[in-house]
């Protein structure tokens, strides 16, 4: 007979999971929940990167027209139409040579990229590399999923600072050879969340060369690729094509409709790249994945085929970044990001500024410290590179952003 007291202390079944820190939004709630905003102001949330721009009406129409398909289990490989639309978009967007991307070999859909990015660590991290615990590299600040995936897959996450001095891009090649030899997987994001830095074709080519030299899987998270100011951000597949290299081994790129088409709740994206890795990726999905419903594949297919809404969406962000430049001008190290939809503002003490903005202006932002950890490469300072910053998600319409930016300028 099992006594009640045996349940008194919860067991951590997998001790690795104890290493997963609290998610940034949980930390934010802990920071702000005990504090009240001014009663006279409507709260504005600029903490979450959830686009509030409209999405095309045809999304609802297609979901409705295909509603009879909700009764079917959807295939993990998606539909042929979806794969072809994604492949055609890649070719158009990155000017790839005909034949480089075959829809059925090089594309696998995912129900949003977060889970797919997470799952990739289980494909890419072996039990050992160079006789030791494998390493997963990522930029610092980083999208939290990368770190969680590294820990869950049994790797040591190493956080490579991406500071203003280096254009907010991490220098992976500058790491000690002992780290690179143990590296099984690199997560890299361009345009970067949160700083909006964009990697050049040269940067991407060097990173791809590094992945081959040290035999690691390279994940390039391009989910902000369609939100930019100026030239379209290059992609990793384009970098391969630019040097006439159509060997995609070890490379996976991730694209999402969440930011491109403002349908974060539709949960639709895709992974493209190394056909052998994608085969394993699909197999893993067959065991434990959760593919998008068929009506979602149908709507997503139409979204990847349509550019009008993407052009209009991008123009709204450009207007809002122009507005931010006017309102914040030279304060807080303001710069217009090359891509993505965040401001990354140097306010001296990001956590203190977050509290000020909530209690005096009813604005929520995310302290940069919640997106960073102290550099553990052995090359950097012990400080967390986000401590001085706040991340401001420019996701609301222009009128709301005008109000929010004015409140930020007045408060800090």
The residue within the footprint of ligand PLP, chosen from 55, 82, 143, 187 (CB under 6 A), is: 143
Specify the residue, 240 or 366, whose C-beta has the smaller distance to ligand PLP. Answer: 366
Beta carbon of residue 303, minimum distance to ligand PLP (angstroms, whole number): 13
Residues in contact with ligand PLP, total (CB under 6 A)? Answer: 13
Beta carbon of residue 130, minimum distance to ligand PLP (angstroms, whole number): 29
Beta carbon of residue 143, minimum distance to ligand PLP (angstroms, whole number): 4
Give residues 198-257 in contact with ligand PLP (rule: CB under 6 A). 221, 223, 256
Beta carbon of residue 193, minimum distance to ligand PLP (angstroms, whole number): 4
Whether the Cβ atoms of residue 309 and residue 192 lie closer than 8 Å to each other: no
The DSSP string of 254-267 is EEEHHHHSS-GGG-
The residue within the footprint of ligand PLP, chosen from 24, 112, 234, 273 (CB under 6 A), is: 112
Specify the residue, 189 or 237, whose C-beta has the smaller distance to ligand PLP. Answer: 189
Beta carbon of residue 371, minimum distance to ligand PLP (angstroms, whole number): 10
Give residues 249-308 in contact with ligand PLP (rule: CB under 6 A). 256, 258, 264, 269
The 3-state DSSP class for residue 393 equals: strand
- Cα 76 to Cα 58, 176, 270, 283, 295: the distances in Å are 24, 39, 11, 9, 14
The 3-state DSSP class for residue 313 equals: helix
The residue within the footprint of ligand PLP, chosen from 47, 161, 190, 193 (CB under 6 A), is: 193
What contacts 24+ positions apart, CB below 8 Å, involve 349-356? 349/387, 349/388, 350/386, 350/387, 350/388, 350/389, 350/390, 351/31, 351/387, 353/390, 353/412, 354/28, 354/31, 354/32, 354/390, 355/31, 355/32, 355/35, 356/411, 356/412
Contacting range for ligand PLP; rule: CB under 6 A; set: 39-47, 57-65, 109-117, 352-360 = 109-117
Residues found in the chain: 412
The residue within the footprint of ligand PLP, chosen from 93, 106, 114, 407 (CB under 6 A), is: 114
- Cα 41 to Cα 3, 38, 361, 405, 406: the distances in Å are 53, 6, 7, 14, 13
Specify the residue, 156 or 221, whose C-beta has the smaller distance to ligand PLP. Answer: 221
Contacting range for ligand PLP; rule: CB under 6 A; set: 74-82, 96-104, 110-118, 129-137 = 110-118
Give residues 40-79 in contact with ligand PLP (rule: CB under 6 A). 49
Specify the residue, 74 or 109, whose C-beta has the smaller distance to ligand PLP. Answer: 109
Burial tier of 73 (Cβ tally within 10 Å: 0-12, 13-18, 19+):
exposed
Structure tokens at 349: 């003490």
Structure tokens at 237: 């597949």
Beta carbon of residue 88, minimum distance to ligand PLP (angstroms, whole number): 20
| Interaction pattern, residues 115-134, with ligand PLP; x per rule: CB under 6 A | --------------------
Distant-in-sequence, close-in-space partners of 411: CB < 8 Å, separation ≥ 6: 356, 357, 360, 361, 363
| Interaction pattern, residues 163-192, with ligand PLP; x per rule: CB under 6 A | --------------------------x---
Beta carbon of residue 11, minimum distance to ligand PLP (angstroms, whole number): 31
Burial tier of 105 (Cβ tally within 10 Å: 0-12, 13-18, 19+):
middle
Beta carbon of residue 186, minimum distance to ligand PLP (angstroms, whole number): 14
If you search the block for the tokens 């997560």, which residue do you land on?
187
How many CB atoms lie under 10 A from the CB of residue 199? 27
Binding site for ligand PLP (CB under 6 A): 49, 112-114, 143, 189, 193, 221, 223, 256, 258, 264, 269
């Amino acid at each position: 007979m099992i006594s009640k007291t045996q349940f008194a202390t919860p067991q951590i079944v997998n001790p690795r999971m104890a290493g997963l820190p609290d998610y940034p939004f949980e930390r934010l709630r802990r920071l702000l929940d005990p504090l009240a905003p001014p009663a006279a102001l409507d709260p504005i949330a600029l903490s979450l990167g959830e686009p509030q721009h409209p999405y095309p009406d045809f999304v609802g129409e297609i979901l409705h027209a295909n509603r009879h398909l909700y009764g079917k289990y959807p295939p993990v490989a998606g539909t042929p139409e979806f794969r072809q639309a994604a492949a055609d978009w890649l070719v158009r967007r990155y000017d790839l040579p005909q034949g480089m991307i075959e829809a059925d070999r090089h594309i696998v859909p995912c129900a949003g990229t977060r889970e797919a990015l997470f799952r990739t660590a289980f494909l890419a991290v072996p039990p050992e590399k160079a006789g030791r615990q494998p390493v997963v590299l990522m930029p610092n600040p980083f999208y939290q999923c990368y770190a969680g995936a590294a820990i869950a897959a049994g790797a040591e996450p190493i956080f490579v600072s991406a500071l203003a001095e280096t254009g907010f891009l991490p220098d992976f090649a500058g790491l000690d050879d002992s780290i690179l030899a143990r590296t099984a997987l690199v997560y890299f994001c361009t345009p970067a969340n949160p700083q909006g830095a964009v990697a050049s074709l040269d940067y991407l080519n060097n990173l791809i060369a590094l992945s081959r030299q040290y035999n690691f899987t390279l994940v390039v998270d391009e989910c902000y690729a369609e939100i930019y100011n100026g030239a379209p951000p290059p992609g990793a597949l384009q970098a391969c094509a630019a040097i006439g290299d159509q060997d995609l081994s070890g490379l996976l790129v991730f694209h999402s409709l969440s930011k491109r088409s403002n349908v974060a709740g539709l949960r639709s994206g895709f992974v493209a790249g190394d056909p052998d890795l994608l085969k394993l990726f699909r197999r893993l999905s067959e065991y434990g994945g959760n593919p998008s419903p068929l009506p979602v594949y149908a709507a997503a297919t139409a979204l990847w085929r349509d550019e009008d809404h993407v052009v209009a969406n991008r123009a709204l962000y450009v207007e809002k970044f122009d507005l931010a430049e006017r309102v914040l001008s030279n304060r807080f190290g303001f710069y217009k990001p090359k891509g993505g939809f965040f401001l990354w503002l140097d306010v001296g003490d990001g956590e203190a500024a977050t509290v000020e903005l909530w209690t005096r202006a009813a604005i929520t932002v995310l302290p940069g410290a919640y997106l960073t950890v102290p550099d553990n490469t052995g090359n950097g300072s012990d400080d967390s590179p986000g401590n001085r910053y706040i991340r401001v998600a420019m996701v609301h319409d222009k009128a709301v952003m005008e109000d929010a930016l004015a409140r930020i300028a007045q408060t800090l």
